[in-house]
Structures are given as structure tokens and as C-alpha cells.
Amino acid sequence: MAAKNPSGVATRDIRSVLVHASGRDWGTVDDLLDVPHHCVGRNGLGVHFVLCNGNAVSGGNAYDPEWDGKIQEARPVEQAGFHSGDAVTDTTSVAILLVGSGDGRYTPMQISALENLIHLLKVDTVASHECAGFDAGAWWDGD
């Protein structure tokens, strides 16, 4: 377990980004806790960012461009996540969860938001969990 200061904030050495999919093609950070998912853990959502796809309303049939590609913060990046099933990876990575069924199809706005976020995080290594449905490492390297 990473050492934490009394405020509970761990100073982390962030080395990579791990991309996940929510497993459902609609939703926001507020309702993803209802989804049975390996990124939902002890202290709420175990990922750091959620990238919405425009289907923010329950049921998913009301596309709202305001929500397409929206980046929501789920957990401070200073805190280790709970998403990879591996304590070392959880401690050294930032988790980004794309709203989507996991078939590898995302909106262009989501992909663009993902790209911007990875640039901001200044990490060298990008990978995806199998739930994402695409190889984010190959995608990023081809950029």
C-alpha cells in the first residue's frame, strides 16, 4: 500500500495510463456506480476520469452533444486507483474510463478527449484493459 500523508493524499509516481470501458453505452460519473464493473470498488469509482459519449441520460437514447467527449473527474490523480486488479499498476497509473459497451467503438469526441487528457498527463506508456475492446497502446504509438 502506498504511503499516505495524514490528509490521505498519496504523492504518486505516475507512469502510465490505462484505458477502460464502462460496459454500458450511456452514463456519467454519477450513475456508473450502479454498473457491475471491476472499476467500482471500495471507495467508489476506482478510475480517475470518465469520458462521456453524449448519452448521459438513463436509457441512453437522448444524445446531447454537450456531453459528447466531456471529461469528468472521478477521483483525484494524486490518489491511487482501483481498476487494474494489480496493486502495482493501480499505484503507478491513471485510469481513464470511456463510456461505451466495450466493443471498441467510441465517438470522435471521446477519442479526441482521450488524446488531450493523455497529453496533459505527460505519460509515456498508454495501455488498455481488455474491457476497452481496442488496443490503446497501438493506437497511441501510431499517433
Using CA atoms, how far apart are residues 39 and 88, in angstroms rounded to an integer? 15
Q: By CB under 5 A, is residue 48 in contact with Zn ion?
A: no
75 binds Zn ion (CB under 5 A): no
User: Is residue 37 at the binding interface for Zn ion, with CB under 5 A as the rule?
Assistant: no
Task: Tell me the three-class secondary structure of 4-23, residue by residue.
Answer: CCCCCCCCCCCCEEEEEECC
Helix (H, G, I), strand (E, B) or coil at 136: helix
Counting contacts by CB under 5 A, is residue 94 touching Zn ion?
no
Tell me which of 16, 19, 20, 51 binds Zn ion, using CB under 5 A.
20
Q: Are the C-beta atoms of 109 and 40 separated by less than 8 Å?
A: no
24 forms part of the interface with Zn ion (CB under 5 A)? no
> How far is the C-alpha of 12 from the C-alpha of 126, rounded, in Å?
17
Q: Which residues between 97 and 136 bind Zn ion (CB under 5 A)? A: 129, 131
Nearer to Zn ion, 24 or 66 (CB): 24
Residue type, 44: G
Whole-number minimum distance, CB 93 to Zn ion, in Å? Answer: 12
Residues near Zn ion, by CB under 5 A: 20, 129, 131
